[in-house]
Amino acid sequence: MGWLILVMEKTLTREEMRELDRKAMEEYKIPGIILMENAGKNVAEEILKMLDEPQQTKVGILCGKGNNGGDGFVVARHLHNHSISVDVFLVARVSDILKDGDAGTNLQILLNMKIPVKEILNIPGVNSILKELNNYNILVDALFGTGLSGAIREPFKTLISGVNNLNKPIVSVDIPSGLDCNTGRVLGTAIKATKTVTFAAAKKGFYLGEGPSCTGIVIVSGISIPRELIP
């Protein structure tokens, strides 16, 4: 009689992931922008694997104002460099993000490259964008990262619900937006991803509560965090 051995992969809480990032940057002196670059490049590579006809593909990237959005800006640049038609939809003011460290740097690069960045500031703006998103083949969710723990507010709530209703393939950056990293609880509403490209290790909430119904296929991607740091 054979034995079935189940090996559960290592999962991290938001606090553990935050500490991992801190040690990588402060103790190993890896600039945050390098981690962001690796994250975005790896997500772009996972998206390219999904494309049968890259030149006929349109990708819409939904970005929030934090580092998760910064990862999304990097995704946009790498897809553009692979001749993919890409547009960025930013749920914030461009001028506010440009003041913000690594994410601001990557947004400035997009502007320099003339990659379209469209601001979404309210619910009417969301409703207008949702009609436009029907024309895209793949959507990228870079709205919220693992730090989110409070309820999703407007206009994000309407945007996330509307995006789910479009029934498009969705790739989430690190975690589906609206999913609690620690508990797997949906924080009012959450992206239902086709694929989640997560960094360093899977997150605890992927396998708890409603996590499994939100993540789709989980790809764990290394972003150059020293392996001895990952418990």
User: How does pLDDT run across 125-161, given as a tens digit for each residue?
Assistant: 999 999 999 999 999 999 999 999 999 999 999 999 9
Angle between helices 101-112 and 67-81 (to 10 degrees): 30
Is residue 218 within 8 A of residue 194, CB to CB? The reply is no
pLDDT at 5: 42
214, HSE (Cβ side, Cα atoms, 13 Å) = 30
pLDDT at 110: 98
Name 116's Cβ contacts closer than 8 Å, sequence gap at least 6: 87, 88
- CA dist., res. 192 & res. 231, Å (int): 28
> How many residues are listed for the chain in this entry?
231
pLDDT at 198: 97
Please list the ranges in the chain whose pLDDT falls under 70: 1-8
For the range 1-7, what are the long-range contacts, defined as Cβ-Cβ under 8 Å and sequence gap of 24 or more? none
Could you identify the residue written with the tokens 């469209």? Answer: 118
pLDDT at 1: 39
pLDDT at 51: 92
Query: Domains, the chain, ranges and CATH?
Result: 32-225 (3.40.50.10260)
pLDDT at 52: 86
pLDDT at 230: 84
Q: Is 131 exposed, middle or buried (0-12, 13-18, 19+ CB in 10 A)?
A: exposed
Q: Which amino acid is at 117?
A: V
**Full-model pTM:** 0.94
pLDDT at 53: 85
pLDDT at 4: 45
pLDDT at 54: 78
pLDDT at 205: 97
